[in-house]
Amino acid sequence: MTGRDITYKADEYARTKRGAPFRDAVEFHTIFSMIGNPAGLRVLDAGCGDGIYARELINRGATHVLGVDCAEDFIKMAREKNKGYEGKIDYSRAFVQDFHGIGNRDLAVGSYILSYPRNLEEAIAFCQALASHLKPGGRFIGFNNNPFEVFDGERHAQYGFRKVMTGGEEGREVIYWVGGMTNPIVNFYLRPETYERAFREAGFSTFSWQRAMLAPSEAGNPYWNDFFKGEPPLIAMLAEKKS
């Protein structure tokens, strides 16, 4: 299987990580709350982008991170930012679904990678590749578009991005117009049960959804009321490979 190239630019995307408050208060907070202490872990960062999570994992004590991303400009930027992380982070340019491992990782992290498969078959291929990197009992922690949020139109402009979708048909585009980016991020809608089946068929024994979490420093801030009303736009997932 071969994947599709993305159409947004690495430098523009990387700048958005320092922009809208949801990046730190929700995305970063949720992902690292779920990871816990990564000290001593060997990690795969699937769809690593410029390596922002790979570096933070090493900063928090992970032993080694292998970052994989299909986009040349993201991998180039990740390698440019690797000073001081040599030998601790390695990067490969590949499509995640084609990039199989040798079962030597404790943890795989996927920040926004599982919004790219367009159907069950592709989702299984992504999940099989993720599973191939993990030791028995190894965990996958993902964070991406929330498939429980289904609507027609656009939402969330007050949070620094506009999420545009047209209902819950599988394979439909879910478009994120992120402030500061010229081109949108184009994701694809899959039903929650499609993800659950893909993980199961790929050899994961447990799978659960985790509602996006708000950093305690922001608790009570009314700015977040709409974000967390009903289904938030983003969600996390946790899966464990069979032991």
Residues at the site binding ligand SAM, with contacts judged by CB under 6 A: 3, 6, 17, 47-49, 52-53, 68-71, 74, 95-97, 111-113, 116, 185
Output the smallest distance, CB 51 to ligand SAM, in A. 8
Find out whether 234 and 26 touch, Cβ atoms under 8 Å: yes
Q: Which is nearer to ligand SAM, 53 or 204 (CB)?
A: 53
Q: Measured from the CB atom, is 71 or 123 closer to ligand SAM?
A: 71
The answer to whether the beta carbons of residues 39 and 60 sit under 8 Å apart is: yes
Query: Taking the complex as a whole, how short is the minimal distance between the CB of residue 120 and ligand SAM, in angstroms?
Result: 16
Cβ nearer to ligand SAM, comparing 112 with 207: 112
Give the residues across from 31 on adjacent strands.
Answer: none
Q: Cβ–Cβ contacts within 10 Å for residue 23, how many?
A: 15
Nearer to ligand SAM, 50 or 149 (CB): 50
* Minimum CB distance to ligand SAM, residue 189 (Å): 15
Question: Closest approach of Cβ 126 to ligand SAM, in Å?
Answer: 7
Question: What is the end-to-end Cα distance of the chain in Å, rounded?
Answer: 27
Provide the H-helix boundaries in the chain. 10-16, 22, 29-35, 52-59, 72-80, 120-133, 192-201
Q: How far is the CB of 91 from ligand SAM (least distance, A)?
A: 11
The count of C-alpha atoms lying within 13 angstroms of the C-alpha of 52, restricted to the half-sphere facing its C-beta, is 20
Q: How far apart are CA 29 and CA 25, in angstroms?
A: 6
Which of 112, 204 has the CB closer to ligand SAM?
112
